[in-house]
Amino acid sequence: MPMSSPWLSNREEFNHSQSSRSNSNNSMASGELLGERQPLLGPGSPGRRTAAALSPSTGHSSDQLRRSIHQSEQHRRQCTDIFFLGCLATYWIGMVALAITAFTHKSNVSFAKEIKSGVDFQGQPCGQHQFVYFPDYMENPDFGFCVDRCPRRDGEIMTVDLPLESGKRVNGSREMHRIQFTSYATHRWAYVCAPTEVNSEQVMIRQLQDTLGRFVGALGNCWQVLMIATAISLSTAGLYLVLLRYCGCISVLLSTAAIESTLVYCSYRLLHAASDPLSYENDPVMLSSLQISAVVMCCAAILFFLFAMVNMSRLLLAGAFISHAARALSQLKRLLVLPFISYVLLVLLFGWGILVTVCIFGAGETSSRIATISATSPSTIRVVTESFQVSTKLRWLFLYHLWGMYWSVNFVLAIGEMITATAMSLWYFSPENRITGLKEFEEPDPVSYSAHTTIKYHLGTLALSSASVAPVEHIRSFFLYLENKNEFDANAVTEFAAKCCCCCIWCFKHCLKYICKEAVYVTAIQGTNFYTSGKMAYTLISSNLIRVGALSRIGHASVLLGKLIVCTTTGLIAWFLLEDVRGRG
């Protein structure tokens, strides 16, 4: 039966149901299973299960198919790709060993002092409201002392009390001497007085060179705000799903208006900050960044408004589709618990990852030396400086930890997706009671059955699927590195080739990611391994490309709005919380 339209009338469905009963009975008699060459949604032909045969409204045909799948699961469902589950377990053994090495390192305390507020040449923290000034940063980048404010002009006389190397010891510490320095123009950058003539973050100061380390340290310092932000994101996502369930179209309109308002507000704030000439008078890099960000945000607000106007019909249709699909939650109420379980697992995983990351970046050694410093009065001084040297080996092993975290996060998300897909497939293929309008399940609890099936049989497939996209992403990162490295070179051919490779790898990554997700869904329904499911998923997508693309765009419209709502709400509240923490600090 040729499928000229994806939507069949009731009479066409009835005729198709009557004509397909004999084919369905023959298929049942022979024990034929859904195979690679018989996709779930294929061109209409005798014995081929088409979209009409899969529809729950076709009655007997759908019931036969449901029984076929359920009976075949009992005989065919078995552990798939178990080798890759062992690979994930072995990898986690290495991650635990790396974490133990980082936890037992003795220099974490010294690094913690440096990332919070900066330290002077003696390794003493300056505090939250002081800055580190380096009078001779070109020759002695490890010599700096704490000041209340950064000098804005050249030629200012700065007087400080320092313990000289030749001074007498009094009660175990060296006697203080008054030293004068002639300042150079600086501007505040993080907790350091950075030279104004340096127009980039590549300043020759050791404490500023570890930008990634300071970022990691900031994560450890604001963990309370991160926990609040995760709770806000979970609450916002749950509220958005409830609104989609009961008023999908109105929720889509409100979401669109909220996103546009947020973009306009951010544009206004950035324009206001960039137009103030006094705030960043001695920081041209920050001023330029604000101006670029303001232009980008204004363009984003205009483009999103045009996008919403052009795709308004699709957005409303997406709201109607999702409201209809949310009917399954009324019978599968335990699925609402699944996001909370995934949320708790992800919070624990991210907490572990951040803790290990901070310890890895905090690994190093504290060294001391006698430095000769040029001053104004006297002309030269000799002081004992103390500096922190990071552990390069553990910094490289951070890539191992990062890969494991990426793999584990995708693995946890994939478990939730497969449990949801299995439960929804049971709901979809179950017969509908014509009186109550509810589905009649053979399993007493479809969600528990789905969780048991996923954990017992298919963790290996999920481990393989979670790790499939990561190598492509790392290859793309390598080409991005080459592109940035050759940015100032005269060889335009190399730069063009790197850009082309990045573009191709980006397209391949998204295609592979989509196929892997569809393969997980096929495994949830049929119980096949990753290779067989991926092959079938590719067949389904290629044979129904237009239909899959249309449905994906409709579904992704509301999903995209939901992501933007959750991310912008969480980001704005976290921003205000961090501003409050900085103001109280």
Percent of the chain with pLDDT over 90: 11
Half-sphere exposure of 287 (CA within 13 A, CB side): 14
Which of 19, 26, 14, 22 has its CA nearest to residue 59? 14
pLDDT band at 418 (very low <50, low <70, confident <90, very high): very high
Chain Cα centroid distance, residue 393? 26
CA dist 92 to 87, 401, 475, 556, 583, Å? 9, 9, 23, 34, 40
Residue 29, pLDDT > 50, answer: no
pLDDT at 454: 93
Write down the mean pLDDT value for the chain: 74
Q: Tokens standing for 442?
A: 């053979």
Say whether pLDDT at 310 is over 70. Answer: yes
Which of 64-73, 409-418, 461-470, 473-482 ranks highest by mean pLDDT? 409-418
Q: Which residue has the higher pLDDT, 251 or 346?
A: 346
Kindly indicate the confidence band of residue 41, based on its pLDDT and cuts at 50, 70 and 90: very low
Nearest to 314 by CA among 518, 559, 541: 559
CB neighbours of 209 closer than 8 A, spacing ≥ 6?
203
Asked whether the predicted pLDDT for residue 268 surpasses 70, the reply is: yes
Q: Which of 131-140, 348-357, 478-487 has the lowest mean pLDDT?
A: 478-487
Q: With bands split at pLDDT 50, 70 and 90, how would you rate the model's confidence at 9? A: very low
Q: How far is it, in rounded angstroms, from Cα 502 to Cα 449?
A: 43
Helix (H) / strand (E) element for 169: namely strand 169-170
Asked if residue 559 has pLDDT above 90, the reply is: no
Per-residue pLDDT tens digits for 284-308: 767 777 888 888 889 988 998 888 8
Instruction: Flag whether pLDDT at 53 surpasses 70.
Output: no
Q: What is the largest CA-CA distance in the chain?
A: 105
pLDDT tens digit sequence for 479-507: 776 666 655 455 677 777 777 888 888 88
Range with lowest mean pLDDT among 132-146, 191-205, 340-354 = 191-205
Each residue's pLDDT tens digit, 225-255: 878 888 888 888 878 777 776 776 777 777 7
